[in-house]
Amino acid sequence: MITRQRTNWLKMLFIWKGSVINKIIVQLIVIAVLSLITLYFKGKIYDYKVHLNPTIFTLIGLALAIFMGFCNTASYDRYWEGRKLWGALVIESRSLTRQVLTLINDPSPEGKKSKEDFIKMIAAFCWSLNYQLRNKSGTEHLSRLLSAEQVDYLRDKRHIPVIILDFIGEWVSKQAKKNHIDTIVLASIDNRLNQFSQIVGGCERISNTPLPFAYSVLLHRTVYFYCFWLPFGLVDSLGWMMPLIVLLISYTFIALDAIIQEIGEPFGEEENDLALNTICRTIEYSIFEQAQIPQEDYKPTNSYFVD
């Protein structure tokens, strides 16, 4: 994710990093060359003049507006829902930590140690969800937070966050059997675990069900036909300004097409994707702070890009 602030209006016009130009530079060059050739031949292919008046673009533009408006909104909704789910993970982690710290009645040193293990399991849960969504194995990384047997048990499993959630559930159930909590508090904590379950399920839903493929194809085609025909359509009325105008208009549409593609899969590691690692670090820092578990100082990054 790019966390850059909007700067001076003039500088914003010439920013490279964070705009998607590096992803679409090839296409833009192709269009620029095509424009220059069209300008040179005055829109003729051999002797056949290509008749394309600007009105045609209003008609195609209608289709484009419908597709782009829709796909953009749908993609951003996926992005924002993903963000909400991870925001909910922050919230629920803290609530569960607070509940465990204040509602579980076990002042013995083992109790304190056990609670710390529990809170590390929450952190492990967050990291494992992160790894699953980004298709990384990551079990070795979890050894920092889980016991050796737990890591061992997880090794050949497919739905690791779900299994860790079962660990958490067992821990809570054990506390109930030891009478450190009564059933009502148990039910209340269990309710929180269902929230975690919902977060896993929600993220999987976004990750496994892309925007229907037919939309992507249709949008992509309409955008490119539109842009490749623009030079022929504008060559007569704009003269030497044509390549510049074509390039700008193409830039806006092709860039939006690229952004839609990136934003629609919000759990990746590209420039406009969610900063899952940062969120995981925040959760870990925050719940360790609540439980007073010793940890390294928090060092903010200086870079514009957080992953």
Q: How many CB atoms lie within 10 A of CB 45?
A: 10
Structure tokens at 251: 């830039």
Structure tokens at 90: 């922050």
Site size toward a second copy, by CB under 8 A: 127
Site for a second copy in 23-42 (CB under 8 A): 27
68 binding a second copy? (CB under 8 A): yes
In DSSP terms, 135 is beta-bridged to: none
3-state SS class at 182 = coil
87 binding a second copy? (CB under 8 A): yes
Kind and range of the H or E run holding 127 = helix 109-133
* Residue 61 Cβ vs a second copy, minimum distance, rounded to whole Å: 5
- Would you say 36 or 63 has its CB closer to a second copy? 63
* Residue 81 Cβ vs a second copy, minimum distance, rounded to whole Å: 10
Work out which of 60, 117, 138, 143 binds a second copy, going by CB under 8 A. Answer: 60
DSSP class of residue 100 equals H
Distance CA(228)–CA(234), nearest Å, equals 11
Work out which of 36, 151, 185, 293 binds a second copy, going by CB under 8 A. Answer: 185
- Would you say 143 or 197 has its CB closer to a second copy? 197
182 binding a second copy? (CB under 8 A): yes
Distance CA(19)–CA(95), nearest Å, equals 37
238 binding a second copy? (CB under 8 A): yes
Tokens 């193409």 locate to 250
151 binding a second copy? (CB under 8 A): no
Work out which of 28, 32, 36, 186 binds a second copy, going by CB under 8 A. Answer: 186
3-state SS class at 274 = coil
Structure tokens at 163: 């299994």
Part of the chain binding a second copy (CB under 8 A), chosen from 18-26, 112-120, 122-130, 143-151: 18-26
Structure tokens at 49: 């003049």
Work out which of 173, 268, 281, 293 binds a second copy, going by CB under 8 A. Answer: 173
Structure tokens at 82: 């993903």
- Would you say 148 or 184 has its CB closer to a second copy? 184
Work out which of 32, 36, 90, 151 binds a second copy, going by CB under 8 A. Answer: 90
Site for a second copy in 101-120 (CB under 8 A): 101-103, 105
Work out which of 110, 148, 214, 296 binds a second copy, going by CB under 8 A. Answer: 214
Residue 235 and residue 39 in contact, taking contact as beta carbons nearer than 8 Å: yes
3-state SS class at 158 = coil
Work out which of 37, 135, 170, 303 binds a second copy, going by CB under 8 A. Answer: 170
293 binding a second copy? (CB under 8 A): no
249 binding a second copy? (CB under 8 A): yes
Structure tokens at 212: 């229907």
Structure tokens at 144: 């920092």
Q: How many CB atoms lie within 10 A of CB 307?
A: 15
